[in-house]
Structure 1
Amino acid sequence: MHPRTAPLALTLLLATAPAPALAGTDAASLRVDGINQPATTEGMAARIRAQVLLDRARFSPGEIDGLAGSNQRRAVRGFQSARGLEVTGELDAATWDALNADAAPALVDYTITEADVAGPYRKVPDDMMAKARLETLGYASIDEALGERFHASPELLRQLNPRADFARAGTSIKVPNVAGLPALPKAARVVVDKSDSTVSLVDAAGKTYAQFPASSGSERDPLPIGQWEIKAVIEDPTYHYNPKLFWDADPSHGKATVAAGPNNPVGVVWIDLSKPHYGLHGTPEPRSIGKAQSHGCVRLTNWDALAVAAAVDASVPVVMQE
C-alpha cells in the first residue's frame, strides 16, 4: 500500500467533545501575571499554567484549554510517574514543585504578522466529496491557525486577549510558551495504550520521556493489539477515501482523493504501520482527542503527531496494548 493511503483513519466522533465553556470565566482569573506566577495553584489560571508546563515537559495535555478534563489528568499522571512522584492525576504540592522547576513564563507575547492575517482561510465542508473538490485543506480562520501554532483552543486565545484585533498585523497577543521546543530524542519504542488513551515515547532503558493523549479504535474498529513496524512517515499527506472501508459511509459517496493540509482527515502527518490501513496521524479536530473514538487508527493533535513523527523511523517498533 502507498504510505499516503490512509482509508481507516477518518475521525469517528462517537463522543463529540463540546467546545470549552469559557465565556463566563472571571477575567481577573486570567491575568497574565497570575498565570505566570509560580504561586498560582488554584483556579483556571493555575490550570492554564499547569497545562503549558506539562506541554513544555513533553507530557502533553492535548489542546490547552484551562479546563480540568481527562487529558489534563492523563498528562499529570504521566508526568508524576516519570518524575517518581505519587501518581494521583491531581496537581498536588509535589507536582507543582516539579512543574515549577521550569522557570520560563507560561505565557509570552506574540505579534500577529501580515502572513497570519493573509491566510488564506476558507471554511472546510463536512462532506467528504465536497472536501475532495478543494485544492487544499487549510485553516478555516486565523483563530484556528494560531490555536494550532500555540497548542491552545481558539476560545482560550480569545479569552486571554479579549480586546485584541486578530485581523490586524502588528497586534500583540498573549500565547502559551510552547513554540520552538527542541525535538525529542529518538524513541526506542512507541507504546499506544488503549486503557489510558495515550501514546508514549519510551527510551532504551524502558523509561517514558514523552506522552500524548490519543484516540484509538472503537467497538466496531478495535485497536490492533500487538507490535507493528513503521513503514513510512509522510508529512502533509493526501488522503485516499474509499467508502467501502467504512461501515458508516454515505452510500452516495465514491472514492476520492482529499488534498493535504491541517484540516485533511489525517491532519499534517501520517505514520504508516505494517498493519494494512492503520497508522498514527494528526487530526482536524484537536479538541476531540482523548474524548472521541476512531475507525481503528491512532489520532493525536497535529502538533503532537509531528513531535512523535520526528522521534521515530523504520527501526522503531510500535506496541499497541490494552
Structure 2
Amino acid sequence: MKLTAYAALGFLSILGPALAAPQGLNLEAVNGAEWAPKSDKGKEIDPALIKAQVLLDRARFSPGVIDGHNGENLQNALKIFEKTNELKPDGALDEEAWRKLTETSTEPVLTEYTITDQDVKGPFVEIPDKMEEQAKLDRLAYTGPEELLAEKFHMDVDLLKALNPGKSFDKAGTSIVVSNVDTKANSGEPKKVAKIEIVKSEKVLRAMAENGSLIAAYPASIGSEEKPAPSGSHTVRAIAKNPNYTYNPDYAFKGVKAKEKFEIKPGPNNPVGSTWIDLSIESFGIHGTPEPEKVGKAYSHGCVRLTNWDVQELAGMVEKGTAVEFID
C-alpha cells in the first residue's frame, strides 16, 4: 500500500551551542563508568550519562539521541523508568536509580564496529533548506556516512566524533566505537502494543500492553501553539515505511511560497523521516524526523514527531486499529 504523508510540520529550535568533549573519553571509560554524586561537569560529555542513556535505550525507555548530556529527554526517560521500578520519579540519576538501571543489562554499552561497504556506498545528498528545492531530489538520503552511522547507533554526531578522534567515517574497514544498542535487554519478538498514549504535558509517547503495563516510552514533539495536537481517542489507520511527503499550501508554512501541492520523495531526511503511522485524523500521524536531536525540544505543527529509530520500533509493534489516546 502506498501512503503519502500529509503532515503539518515545522519546528522552533531551542538548542544551545555545540558542547565540548572531555579528555580520556573512550570505550573503557564509558563501559567502566560508575555512579558518583553529582559534580559540575559544565558542558562536557559525561561517560556515566552515556552509559545510562544506552541502558535506557535498550530497556525501551528511550532517551532520544544518545549524547552524554543531562538533557530533558534523559530526565523524562529516567522519571518513567523510576516510576515503573517503584523509585522516586524525580528524573535524577541517583545511586538507587543507577543500581536498578545497571541491573537491566550486563552487555557493554559501547562496542567496536567495523564500517562496511554498505555504510559508505551512498548515494549521499546535500539537503537544501527550502522544501520546494527538496522536492527536486530523487531521494532524501543521508548527507554522508557520519549521519548514517550516528542514526544507526542512535547517537549524536558530536558524540560519534568525540569517541573516534581522528577516525575517517567514509572508509570501509575502519574500526570505530559506537553505542551497543543492538543488544536489547528485551530482545526477541516485538511485543504487541494495545494502546498508544500521547502525553502532551510530558512530551512523551507511551506504548501500552493489553494489561496496562508499559512496553516502551519515547520522547516526542507534539503539536504547537499555532496548531495544537488533538485530544481524545483515535486509532492507527495505516503504517508506511519510507513515505513520500506531500506539502499542502493550506499549511502556509513560513518560508514556503508554493501555492499548489508538491511531493517530496522518501528517505531518512524526508520531512516525516523514515516511517509514517497514519492516524484516524485527517492529515495527522506519528512519524520520524531528519533532525532527531530536536525531538522533545522543538514544536511540531500538530503531528507527533519521534526519532527515526523510535518510530520504526513503534511501527513494528502496532497495527491497523491500535488505539491512540491524546492526554493533556
Indicate conservation of the 8 Å contact 1:136/1:261, yes or no. yes
Measured at CA, do residues 180 and 20 of structure 1 come closer, stay the same or move farther in structure 2, by a change above 3 Å? farther
Distance 1:3 1:272 in 2: 12
Indicate conservation of the 8 Å contact 1:4/1:240, yes or no. no
Distance 1:19 1:155 in 2: 12
> In the TM superposition, what is the alpha-carbon distance from 1:3 to its structure 2 partner?
7.0
Q: Which residue in 1 is equivalent to 2:295?
A: 289
Q: Which residue in 2 is equivalent to 1:190?
A: 196
Q: 2:22 aligns with which of 21, 26, 43?
A: 26
> In the TM superposition, what is the alpha-carbon distance from 1:249 to its structure 2 partner?
5.3
> What does 1:158-177 align with in structure 2 at a 5 Å threshold?
158-177=161-180
Residue type of the alignment partner of 1:272: D
Indicate conservation of the 8 Å contact 2:130/2:256, yes or no. no
> In the TM superposition, what is the alpha-carbon distance from 1:240 to its structure 2 partner?
1.0
> In the TM superposition, what is the alpha-carbon distance from 1:253 to its structure 2 partner?
5.0
- Count residues in correspondence: 317
Indicate whether 1:200 and 2:206 are aligned: yes
Distance 1:243 1:230 in 2: 25
TM-score normalized by the length of structure 1:
0.94
> In the TM superposition, what is the alpha-carbon distance from 1:199 to its structure 2 partner?
0.5
Q: 2:64 aligns with which of 54, 62, 69?
A: 62
Residue type of the alignment partner of 2:68: G
> In the TM superposition, what is the alpha-carbon distance from 1:219 to its structure 2 partner?
0.8
RMSD, matched Cα:
1.7
Indicate whether 1:129 and 2:129 are aligned: no
Indicate whether 1:244 and 2:250 are aligned: yes
Distance 2:227 2:171 in 1: 45
Distance 1:253 1:265 in 2: 19
Indicate conservation of the 8 Å contact 2:132/2:258, yes or no. no
Residue type of the alignment partner of 2:106: A
Residue type of the alignment partner of 1:15: S
TM-score normalized by the length of structure 2:
0.92
Contiguous gaps of at least 5 residues in structure 1: none
Measured at CA, do residues 20 and 59 of structure 1 come closer, stay the same or move farther in structure 2, by a change above 3 Å? farther
Q: Which residue in 2 is equivalent to 1:305?
A: 311
Q: 2:111 aligns with which of 92, 96, 108?
A: 108
Q: Which residue in 1 is equivalent to 2:13?
A: 15
Cα deviation, 1:5-37, whole Å, max 9, x if unaligned, reads 333332x22234246413xx2221x23212112
Residue type of the alignment partner of 2:164: N
Distance 1:20 1:122 in 2: 24
Distance 2:183 2:99 in 1: 24
Indicate conservation of the 8 Å contact 1:8/1:245, yes or no. no
Contiguous gaps of at least 5 residues in structure 2: none
User: 171-180 or 233-242: which moved more?
Assistant: 171-180
Indicate whether 1:45 and 2:47 are aligned: yes
Indicate whether 1:261 and 2:267 are aligned: yes
Indicate conservation of the 8 Å contact 2:244/2:270, yes or no. yes
Distance 1:95 1:219 in 2: 35
> In the TM superposition, what is the alpha-carbon distance from 1:40 to its structure 2 partner?
4.6
Distance 1:14 1:153 in 2: 19
Residue type of the alignment partner of 2:277: I
Q: Percent identity?
A: 41
Distance 1:92 1:263 in 2: 37
Cα deviation, 1:117-137, whole Å, max 9, x if unaligned, reads 222211111111111110000
